[in-house]
Amino acid sequence: MKPGRRRGAGWRWPGWIERLSIESPDVMGLLIAQGEVSVKALESFETWSKSGDIDSARQVQDLEHAADDARHSLVAALKTSLATPIGQEDLFVLSERCDRVVNRVKNVVAEAGVLSWSPDMHAANMSEQLRAGMTAVLTGFKALTARGDTTADAALSVTHCVRGVERDYRNAMAELSSQPDLREVFTAREIYRLYVRAAEALEALSDRLWYAVLSEP
At residue 147, the pLDDT reads: 66
Note the pLDDT tens digit of each residue in 87-113: 999 999 999 999 999 999 999 999 999
What is the CATH superfamily name and number for domain 25-215?
Phosphate transport system protein phou homolog 2; domain 2 (1.20.58.220)
Q: Please give the Cα distance from 208 to 198 (Å, whole number).
A: 16
Average pLDDT, the chain: 89
By CB neighbour count within 10 A (0-12 exposed, 13-18 middle, 19+ buried), where does 141 fall?
buried
Task: Tell whether the model's pLDDT for residue 84 goes beyond 80.
Answer: yes
The Cα–Cα gap between 198 and 113 comes to: 17
pTM of the entire predicted model: 0.87
User: What is the maximum alpha-carbon separation in the chain?
Assistant: 88
Examine the pLDDT at 75 and tell me if it is beyond 90.
yes
More confident residue, 165 or 1: 165
pLDDT of residue 33: 97
The pLDDT value given to residue 10: 53
CA distances to 1, 106, 138, 155 from 120, in Å: 68, 17, 27, 28
The domain limits of the chain are: 25-215
Please write the tens of the pLDDT for every residue from 184-210: 889 999 999 999 999 999 999 999 999
